[in-house]
Amino acid sequence: MDQNRNTSTEGKHFPAQRFKVYTARQLEQIPQLAQLDEQLRFEMKVVASVLPFRVNEYVIEQLIDWNNIPADPIFQLVFPQREMLDPEAFERVAKALQQELPRAEFDAIVADIRADLNPHPAGQLEHNIPTVNGERINGIQHKYRETVLFFPSSGQVCHSYCTFCFRWAQFVGDKDLKIAARESGDLQAYLREHPEVTDVLVTGGDPMVMKTRNLRAYLEPLLSEEFAHIRTIRIGTKALTFWPQRFVSDADADELLDLFTEIQAAGKHLAIMAHYNHWRELEPAIAREAIRRVRETGAQIRAQGPLLAHINDDAEVWARLWQSQVELGIVPYYMFVERDTGARRYFEVPLVRAWEIYREAMQRVSGIARTARGPSMSSHPGKVEVQGVTEVNGEKVLALRMIQGRDADWVQRPFFARYNPEATWLDHLEPAFGEQRFFFDDE
């Protein structure tokens, strides 16, 4: 450990805490659920049989208001709700549980339902995984020219699971649906062959579930002169919300912060891509201490998250979230649109309404908090931003912009779609002005 690290009294107020987690099998063991109706608990069990469920004691005790169930936004964020499955799917699983079907029959029903939930949206398995000498490299995605995503095998779990997660298929135990690297050597070999790559995003799951020594094994080789073309290392994580102890009181928390400092000292920019969905996640003292300690290393924290019905589809919530982030030294980065996968039917918000919420929230904050781009769809061709509703030559249209593209020539290209107040995703839109196809449809 770096003996010069600032060990202020703030950190000393947070003793080590045991990490205790509940999965679908322990759902009935969560004490706070005993106050809920038996039917509601059964409905949770049904949904948790299809979509992944995992929540830890910190989230249960520090983030959820148990006097506001089921409306509490953090409760909605981590606990399954009946409407997350369509009625037919729900009834199939409920009936199977009630009849206590043999495991093989039950699993077949669940697998069939999961297959209908678009487990890997935006071409994650078909188009984003690169090959070398004709062989796929598992655990790596390369969709945008400058950026490679890396999925370390030991980081393909989270401290808790979000009910909306677009990577839910990583966590259901089906090897055919999982993206994970066998070893870090594959990443290094790929980067050697691709000097155009400047950014590596370590993602999951959540890399912060790993011990520091394991994370170091993946990242330390990238600090050598051989990988001088890698200028930014990003780490995608929800740990600042779901387990801030990782940066404060865990046994190797100081070692983790030392690693962050070393990355900066090697001339790399370290960006912690933090996932936040509600300002309540920033309220606990230990969450703020985690933010302070990470920023002290020189790492930058950028915040992103989707717009979600039942959780944050309110301009005031986003305005308060962005303002709180700025006050804590976090850069608001993206407001995403809920992806077309998993429980999207429960969380999706029409694109027009999403833009209205974004616009109203932006109007309530100062310019320094207006760094968040959005609403943005991470679609198959790229990240598409909804810029607003307007009228061109008498036709009401949606103005859109490709802010990141599978083809670099598409980046920053504006385009228009026919006005559709019900559309919730790119494939629900049609080109404006009588055009038959969008420019990217000929890919």
Domains: count for the chain: 2
Indicate the residue type of 363: Q
Q: What does the pLDDT look like over 342-397, one tens digit per residue? A: 999 999 999 999 999 999 999 999 999 999 999 999 999 999 999 999 999 999 99
Indicate the residue type of 65: D
Binned at pLDDT 50, 70 and 90, residue 6 comes out as very low
- In-domain check, residue 39: yes
pLDDT of 139 strictly over 50: yes
Tokens standing for residue 132: 């070398």
- In-domain check, residue 361: yes
- In-domain check, residue 244: no
Last residue of a domain, one of 88, 115, 142: 115
Residues 6+ apart with CB under 8 A from 135: none
**Domain region containing 27:** 19-115
* Averaged pLDDT for residues 55-69: 97
Residues 6+ apart with CB under 8 A from 216: 259
| Calpha distance 117→136 (Å, rounded) | 24
Q: What does the pLDDT look like over 21-51, one tens digit per residue? A: 999 999 999 999 999 999 999 999 999 999 9
- In-domain check, residue 195: no
- In-domain check, residue 63: yes
SS (H, E, C) the chain: CCCCCCCCHHHHCCCCCCCCEEEHHHHHHCHHHHHCCHHHHHHHHHHHCCCCCEEEHHHHHHHCCCCCCCCCHHHHHHCCCHHHCCHHHHHHHHHHHHHCCCHHHHHHHHHHHHHCCCCCCCCCCCCCCCEECCEECCCEEEEECCEEEECEHHHCCCCCCCCCCCCHHHHCCCHHHCCCECCHHHHHHHHHHCCCCCEEEECCCCHHHCCHHHHHHHHHHHHCHHHCCCCEEEEEECHHHHCHHHHCCCCCHHHHHHHHHHHHHCCCEEEEEEECCCHHHHCCHHHHHHHHHHHHCCCEEEEEEEECCCCCCCHHHHHHHHHHHHHCCCEEEEEEECCCCCCHHHHCCCHHHHHHHHHHHHCCCCHHHCCCEEEEEECCCEEEEEEEEEEECCEEEEEEEEEEECCHHHCCEEEEEECCCCCCCHHHCCECCCCCCCHHHHC
Last residue of a domain, one of 73, 93, 115: 115
pLDDT of 8 strictly over 50: no
Cβ(297)–Cβ(261) under 8 Å?
yes
Last residue of a domain, one of 115, 144, 167: 115
- In-domain check, residue 280: no
Which one is predicted more confidently, 148 or 6? 148
Provide the whole-model pTM: 0.92
- In-domain check, residue 43: yes
Binned at pLDDT 50, 70 and 90, residue 178 comes out as low
Indicate the residue type of 220: E
pLDDT at residue 173 in the model: 67
Binned at pLDDT 50, 70 and 90, residue 9 comes out as very low
Tokens standing for residue 63: 């983030």
Cβ(430)–Cβ(351) under 8 Å?
no
- In-domain check, residue 369: yes
